[in-house]
Amino acid sequence: MSLKKEIAATIRIVRSVRGLAYEDLASVTARTNVSALERGKINITVDKLIELSTSLKLDPVALLAISISMSNSETPEAALERASVELESFRSEGGLDLLATQIVDDTLVKRSRGKPEGSKNAQAIQELKSAGFSRKDVMEKLGLSRSTVYGHWKI
């Protein structure tokens, strides 16, 4: 889902409603960049969106809710309500608790190498190997590629 046009329109209207000129946003980005953003010619990074939201005096979540609501032809409140329901679901799955373990002392915790599901694959491969299955049987049974099975076989 690209929100380039919707973010462009939101930034343009918020800037206009708040009576801000391009120069008022100069501390965040060059005037030409604001113009290009408002014309939907360039994308914006999350960091830049947060900086720009601050200059526009609009919470970045509100800016995104407005943009997403335009894309979905709904009200910003409907977009926020849907996000709130999804957030509660994420919380009940333990996601927020796990998220709290990912940044320690302002540093992102390193994750193990490979794809995140690799540990599940490795465990399944080792269990089947212990049960006497061949590499080929494990590949077929788990639906994994040859390189994945061979990579976890010697662990």
User: Band of the pLDDT at 154, cuts 50, 70, 90?
Assistant: confident
- Of 64, 23, 68, the closest CA to residue 46 belongs to 64
Mean pLDDT on 141-147: 89
**77 pLDDT exceeds 60?**
yes
Say what the pLDDT of residue 61 is.
98
In this predicted structure, what is the pLDDT of residue 117? 56
Answer yes or no: is pLDDT of 31 > 90. no
User: On the CB side of 150, how many CA atoms lie within 13 Å of its CA?
Assistant: 3
- Digit-coded pLDDT (tens) for 113-141: 665 555 788 888 999 999 999 999 988 98
